[in-house]
């Protein structure tokens, strides 16, 4: 029994990695849908979020069952409670990818993203992709150094986010309020996506080292 238990712990971790990969695919696809005004891709992301939500339910349930049946202590207990939190972050990241896709869908056949901020959003999408890829690796390997890299990537995301506001606030912004609202929300979605990736990484660091990462700079 105890061996089946160890296997189940490993299986849960593998499911978390699979879920992170699904979220990575969702955010990449959402970014493409957004920048190419591709409504079929947007719909793919929106439909796919149900699967991500179902995976969350399933992992949570398996963690709960493991807690109930095996009554783990110490490290194993910490592993399971950490998995339960990571799965929340990942699900939320899936929601944010879906929100991005919905902006693309709402403006279709128009482009939601005007030329002035296209490269910034492309770059934000790129960093989101990088972050979730690293997050999956961190979950799989518990690599504390890789986990700390995510903080740097998140700083880059924050810089891009601030740049987006600067672009909106230029005197000659020609696209009106509706586009400004879209861009404001999109910026927020990517920024929150990055925050959740960092949150996952910090949980893994805490699991491995027993130490909390340095207190984060207050979110803008």
Q: How many of the other CB atoms lie within 10 Å of CB of 55? A: 20
**What is the rounded CA–CA span in Å between residue 175 and residue 159?**
22
Give the nearer residue to its own copies in terms of CB position, either 18 or 72: 72
Give the nearer residue to its own copies in terms of CB position, either 35 or 167: 167
**Lookup: tokens for 197:** 């990736």
Give the nearer residue to its own copies in terms of CB position, either 105 or 130: 105
- Cβ of residue 207: shortest distance to its own copies, in angstroms? 12
- Cβ of residue 177: shortest distance to its own copies, in angstroms? 5
Q: How far is CA 82 from CA 38, 107, 145, 193, 204, in A?
A: 37, 38, 18, 19, 8
Contact positions toward its own copies, by CB under 8 A? Answer: 64, 67-68, 71, 73-74, 77-78, 81, 84-85, 88, 95, 99, 102, 165, 168-169, 173, 177-178, 180-181, 184-185, 188, 219-220
Give the nearer residue to its own copies in terms of CB position, either 35 or 84: 84
Element (H, E) at 166: helix 144-169
Give the nearer residue to its own copies in terms of CB position, either 130 or 179: 179
The DSSP symbol for 146 reads H
- Cβ of residue 65: shortest distance to its own copies, in angstroms? 10
- Cβ of residue 12: shortest distance to its own copies, in angstroms? 15
Give the nearer residue to its own copies in terms of CB position, either 142 or 188: 188
- Residue 119's nearest CA partner among 155, 152, 167 is 167
**What is the rounded CA–CA span in Å between residue 102 and residue 96?**
10
**What is the rounded CA–CA span in Å between residue 73 and residue 77?**
5
- Cβ of residue 145: shortest distance to its own copies, in angstroms? 25
- Cβ of residue 215: shortest distance to its own copies, in angstroms? 9
Contacts of 205 by beta carbon, 8 Å cutoff, 6+ apart = 144, 147, 148, 211, 212, 213
């Amino acid at each position: 029994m105890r061996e089946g238990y160890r296997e189940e712990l490993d299986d849960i971790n593998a499911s978390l990695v699979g879920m992170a990969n699904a979220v990575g695919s969702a955010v990449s696809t959402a970014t493409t849908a957004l920048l190419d005004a591709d409504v079929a891709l947007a719909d793919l992301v929106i439909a796919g979020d149900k699967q991500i939500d179902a995976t969350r339910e399933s992992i949570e349930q398996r963690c709960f069952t493991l807690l109930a049946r095996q009554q783990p202590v110490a490290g194993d207990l910490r592993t399971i409670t950490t998995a339960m939190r990571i799965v929340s972050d990942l699900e939320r990241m899936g929601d944010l990818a879906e929100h991005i896709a919905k902006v693309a869908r709402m403006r279709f056949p128009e482009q939601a993203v005007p030329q002035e901020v296209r490269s910034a959003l492309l770059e934000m999408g790129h960093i989101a992709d990088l972050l979730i890829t690293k997050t999956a690796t961190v979950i799989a390997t518990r690599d504390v150094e890789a986990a700390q890299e995510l903080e740097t990537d998140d700083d880059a995301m924050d810089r891009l986010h601030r740049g987006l506001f600067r672009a909106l606030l230029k005197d000659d912004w020609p696209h009106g309020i509706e586009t400004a609202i879209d861009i404001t929300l999109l910026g927020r979605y990517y920024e929150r996506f990055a925050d959740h990736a960092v949150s996952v990484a910090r949980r893994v660091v805490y699991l491995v080292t027993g130490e909390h990462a340095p207190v984060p700079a207050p979110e803008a």
